Amino acid sequence: MNTMTNDLSGVIAADKAHVWHHLSQHKQYENEAIDPRVIVEGKGLRVWDAKGKEYIDAVSGAVWTVNVGYGRESIAKAVSDQLIKMNYFAGSGGTVPGALFAEKLISKMPGLSRVYYSNSGSEANEKVYKMVRQISHRHHGGRKNKILYRERDYHGTTIAALATSGQKERAMQYGPYPEGFVMVPHCLEYRKQWDVENYGERAADAIEEVILREGADTIGALVLEPVTAGGGVIVPPKGYWERVQEICKKYDILLHIDEVVCGLGRTGVWFGYQNYGIKPDFVTMAKGVASGYAAISCTVTTEAIFGMFKDDAADPMSYFRDISTFGGCASGPAAALENMRIIEDEGLLDNTLKMGARTIANLQALMEKHKVIGDVRGAGLFCGAELVADRITKEPMDEKKVAAVVADCNANGVIIGMTNRSIPGLNNTLCLSPALIATADDIDAITGAIDNALTRVFG
C-alpha cells in the first residue's frame, strides 16, 4: 500500500536541514544520498515513510510506546473533543479527564491510591526522587536520603534520572551527577555473577549487601524496572522479587517500580510488577499510558506516602512543592482513558500473553538454527534475543554486526530494535515490542525477517 499522494521531498529536506533527531549521529546526513526517515502514516502495526515504503513496526514507535497500534480514531476523537472543551489547567487544580483516569487507573492497582501527573517517564521518576528526599528531611531528620538503582536498568534522561542509570554509556559525558544514588548488581542469570542454584535470591541478596555497606539508615528507596528494558530485556529469575520485597520491608526502604516500558499491558498484565505479587510504594509510568496519542506520565503512590505530605497544614513547607506544567494538559488523561478502554474491550492483555508466547517460541526455534543466538528471554510482547560470537564463552557479538541485522530487517520492511548505547561491549541484544494488537501472522513476519537477516549477515 502506497499512502503517498504528494511529493514530500520538501519535507525531507526541511527535516534534514533543521531537525535534531534523538539518538542519532547526523554526520551521515551530509551524504546527499542518505536521508532521515520521516514517518507519515500509521495503521495498526504498519507505518509508511515519506518515500512510500511500508514497514511492520515491531518496536511500537521505536521506543515501546504505541501499545494499541496506529490510527485509533476513537482516541483522536477523545483528545479532540477534550481540547475543544478544556485543553489545559495547571495541576494545582483539576480536570474532568484527570479525575476520571486517576479513578480508573487506581482500580487496576490495588494498594495504591494517588496519581500525580506529569509529561514524561523521566519526569515521573524525578518526582519520586524528590518525594523520597522530602520524606527524608521531614520524617527522618535528613537520614534515609540515598536511592538505590540497579545495574542495567534505566530511568530517564534528565541529570538526576541519569544519576540512576545502570547503563554506563547513557550516562557518559553528562556528569558530574548529584550525590546519594548508589548502584546494586544486575540480576541477569545468563551473565551470572555468582555460581549458585537459587540465582534469583542471590541476586536480591546482593542488594542487601549494598544496604549494609552504605548503612540501612541512609537508604530511603530502591528503584527497579520489573523487566529491564534497554539494558537487555532481563526478566528477573525466580525468587528475586520475593526476596527484594523482604529486604525493603526489613530495612524500611521504599520500593519504587518504574513501569515506563512495562506498564499498560506490555507484559500481559496491567503492570509488570503484578506478575510477581509485590507491593510497591511508588509506581511510575508513561509511554503506553496513552500509546503516544498524547503526552502523559503518572507517579502513583500509596495513601501512606500521600499522608506524609499533609501532616501539618500549618507548615508551609509540609506539602509536595512541585509542579509539572504539562502535567496539566487534559489531552493526556483523555487519551489514556480511551487507551485503557481499548485494551479492556479488545482483550489485549490476553492477546499479549498468547502472541508473546508465540514470539518466544519462534525465537527459540531460530536459536536452534542460528548459533549466534545465545539467549532468548522476555515477558508478554516484550522480548529479546542476545547475539553472541561464541555460545560457550558467551562472548558478545560485535555490535556492528548486531546493527547489521537490524538494518537488514529494516531494509526488508520490518523495524526491530537493539540495545543502543547502553552497556559498553554489551549492546548485543535484539529487542522486540510490537503493539498489543499483533496477530500470529505479524509475529511470524517479524521473526521471519530476523531469520532471513541472520542468514544474510552470518551465513
- Position 101: which residue type? F
pLDDT, residue 2, reads: 46
Does pLDDT of 1 surpass 70? no
C-alpha 144/C-alpha 184 separation (Å) is: 17
Print burial letters for 333-345: b (CB count within 10 Å at least 16), e (below 16): bbbbbbbbebbee
Does pLDDT of 65 surpass 90? yes
Contact (Cβ atoms closer than 8 angstroms) between residue 72 and residue 342? yes
Q: Which residue has the higher pLDDT, 311 or 391?
A: 391
Q: 421: pLDDT confidence band, cut at 50, 70 and 90?
A: confident
Residue among 361, 360, 387 at smallest CA distance from 374: 387
Give the pLDDT mean for 36-48.
97
Give the pLDDT mean for 44-50.
97
Cell of 270: 496491567
Give the pLDDT mean for 192-199.
96
Does pLDDT of 6 surpass 80? no
C-alpha 86/C-alpha 415 separation (Å) is: 37
Contact (Cβ atoms closer than 8 angstroms) between residue 99 and residue 93? no
Contact (Cβ atoms closer than 8 angstroms) between residue 45 and residue 57? yes
What is the crossing angle of helices 440-458 and 399-411, to 10°?
130
Does pLDDT of 46 surpass 90? yes
Does pLDDT of 415 surpass 70? yes
Does pLDDT of 29 surpass 80? yes
Q: Is 254 exposed, middle or buried (0-12, 13-18, 19+ CB in 10 A)?
A: buried
Does pLDDT of 4 surpass 80? no
CA–CA distance from 188 to each of 177, 232, 241, 341, 376 (Å)?
26, 9, 13, 35, 12
Contact (Cβ atoms closer than 8 angstroms) between residue 385 and residue 363? yes
pLDDT, residue 173, reads: 96
As a whole number of angstroms, the longest Cα–Cα distance in the chain is: 72
C-alpha 416/C-alpha 414 separation (Å) is: 6
Residue 97 has phi, psi (to 5 degrees) of: -65, -30
The pairing of beta strand 429-432 with beta strand 383-390: antiparallel
Q: Is the peptide bond before 176 cis (omega within 30 degrees of 0)?
A: yes
Give the pLDDT mean for 309-313.
91
pLDDT, residue 62, reads: 93
Alpha carbon 145 to its chain's center: 25
Percent of the chain with pLDDT over 70: 99
pLDDT, residue 220, reads: 98
Convert the pLDDT of each residue in 212-256 to its tens digit: 999 999 999 999 999 999 999 999 999 999 999 999 999 999 999
Convert the pLDDT of each residue in 343-362 to its tens digit: 999 999 999 999 999 999 99
Give the position of cell 548503612: 215
Convert the pLDDT of each residue in 88-129 to its tens digit: 999 999 999 999 999 999 999 999 999 999 999 999 999 999
Question: SS in 3 state form for the chain?
Answer: CCCCCCCCHHHHHHHHHHCCCCCCCHHHHHCCCCCCCCEEEEEECEEEECCCCEEEECCHHHHHCCCCCECCHHHHHHHHHHHHHCCECCCCCCCHHHHHHHHHHHCCCCCCCEEEEECCHHHHHHHHHHHHHHHHHHHCCCCCCEEEEECCCCCCCCHHHHCCCCCHHHHCCCCCCCCCEEEECCCCHHHCCCCCCCHHHHHHHHHHHHHHHHCHHHEEEEEECCCECCCCCECCCCCHHHHHHHHHHHCCCEEEEECCCCCCCCCCCCCHHHHCCCCCCEEEECHHHCCCCCCCEEEEECHHHHHCCCCCCCCCCCCCCCCCHHHHECHHHHHHHHHHHHHHHCCHHHHHHHHHHHHHHHHHHHHHHCCCEEEEEECCCCEEEEEEEECCCCEECCHHHHHHHHHHHHHCCEECEECCCCCCCCCCEEEECCCCCCCHHHHHHHHHHHHHHHHHHHC
pLDDT, residue 5, reads: 52
pLDDT, residue 459, reads: 86
Give the pLDDT mean for 298-322.
95
Does pLDDT of 153 surpass 60? yes
Convert the pLDDT of each residue in 315-341 to its tens digit: 999 999 999 999 999 999 999 999 999
